[in-house]
Amino acid sequence: MAKLLVEAGLILGIVVIILLLYYRKRSINNSNVLLAVSVICLTYMLFNNHLNNSREMVNYPFFYRTGNIAGFLLIPFLYLYSRNTFYPGIRWRKTDWLFFLPALFYIIDLLPFFLEDPAYKIAVMRANYSDPSRNFRVEEGWVPLKGIHYIIMYFWSIALMILQSRLIYRNRQMARENESSMNRALFWFIVTLTTFHIPLIFPGIFGLLFHLKWYSPGYLGFVMSAHLIITAFFILFSPKILYGFYPHIEADQEPVADTTENNEPVGGTSDTKAAFSSFEVQMMINKIEDHMTGSMPYLNKQYNIHSLSDEVGIPVYQLSPIINQHYQSNFNAWVNTYRVNHFIELCKKQKRDVLTLAAIAEESGFNNRSTFISAFKKVTGSTPGNYLKELSKAS
């Protein structure tokens, strides 16, 4: 039964990694990549733990003691994912590299052991298997203090879990009924991920200090497998959580000039705060407009909101309210505004002397004459013929 649970955890962990990497552009700042790295760490830890628990590690000595590297990186990448999901305007900071220091210290300390001959590693493994408590002491490095790496790992993880809990607490309004169902699902997904990390951390401290028999590779394998299975079910049955939080944007929202040093909106615990500050929304608007004016994708007659979503890396669930509320328009009418302006620019370049108006409209991305005339009237308040007559008089 335990073996089946581990195998299920490993298979579903790989599925989750593939899905997260496939949908990496669906979230702001590619937050899904950060979560994918965290799941890669957990999956590798489970694989490494399974080899240890089954004593199969002797057949793959180059994997021995490498699982702890993933252990040092697991919580940091969970925190970075959560932070960038709650606050999409935040990108990678220089200080984020500090999250790698404990893992780097571990690698440097055990580097001579990693480079040892496989026969030596197998001898060390067998000695450690004869005394299970030695598995948690990591005596193969340069540092003479027994168990120092596990002590660092657990207290480092606790510190990051405090930061993680603070993020969740400050954004707890996302779980309330007045939020969209997608926001609530994503909020509880982050809470669930955080909760399942707790059995990996706090029991480990007591197991390490008091040498509790139940704290073993078998226990860790069960917790990690359950974690990966729950994560997979969340993503498979609620895939919308991969798109990030749905923004609530007030039409008359004023720019937020005052932000904290972390780029988090001031008063993040306030019930009236939107999931995105107006500064972050403006960043997305700038990205959209730069793409539309620079690449002119609207010239494609089949262009739709899903195409724009793929190209700018902003999910449809966020694009739609931004366009509706910022431009006071639906997507089709908004795109046709670009086409009308392109049509006018072509006419100003005397293209109407060599092409019919219908041909210029088609070159501007319009599918048919009626759509073109309707969109033109909506943008300019005049028919194309009358508008061009007035344009000729002005020139």
Are 228 and 351 found together in one domain? no
Domain count, the chain: 2
Tell me the pLDDT tens digit for each residue of 341-390. Answer: 999 988 887 666 667 888 889 999 999 999 999 999 999 998 988 888 88
CATH at residue 356: 1.10.10.60
Residue 381 maps to a domain: yes
Q: Please write the tens of the pLDDT for every residue from 152-190.
A: 998 899 999 999 999 999 888 888 876 677 788 999 999
Q: Which domain holds residue 235?
A: 2-243
Mean pLDDT over 318-331 rounds to 81
Within a domain: 297: yes
pLDDT of 348 reads 82
At 199, which CATH number?
A: 1.20.1070
Check pLDDT > 60 for residue 269.
no
How is 240-274 classified by DSSP, letter by letter? GGGG-PPP---TTPPP---B-TTSPBTTTT-TT--
Q: What is the pLDDT of residues 112-132, one digit of tens each?
A: 999 999 999 999 999 988 887
User: Mean of the pLDDT values across residues 65-74?
Assistant: 95
Do the beta carbons of residue 16 and residue 195 sit within 8 Å? no
pLDDT band, very low/low/confident/very high, at 259 (cuts 50, 70, 90): very low
User: Has residue 11 been placed in a domain?
Assistant: yes
**CB 32 within 8 Å of CB 20:** yes
pLDDT at residue number 322: 82
Q: Bridge-partner residues for 344, per DSSP?
A: none
**Quick check: is 249 in a domain?**
no
Encoded tokens for 42: 């957990």
On whether the CB atoms of residues 147 and 128 are closer than 8 A, the answer is: no
Q: Please name the residues in contact with 368: beta carbons below 8 A apart, sequence gap of 6 or more.
A: none
The structure tokens listed for 44 are: 């590798």
Q: What's the chain's length in residues?
A: 395
Q: Give domain status of residue 266, yes or no.
A: no
Higher-confidence residue of 369 and 267: namely: 369
Q: Which residue type is seen at 138?
A: V
Considering the domain architecture, whether residues 228 and 286 belong to the same structural domain is answered as no
Give yes or no: residues 111 and 183 share one domain. Answer: yes
**Does residue 94 belong to any structural domain of this protein?**
yes
- Quote the CA–CA distance of 230 and 324 in Å, as a whole number: 36
- 48/193 same-domain check: yes
Q: Write down the pTM of the prediction.
A: 0.69
pLDDT given at position 329: 85
Q: Identify whether residues 188 and 50 lie together within a single domain.
A: yes
Cα(50)–Cα(218) distance, integer angstroms: 8
Residue 68 shares a structural domain with residue 206: yes
pLDDT of 145 > 70? The answer is yes
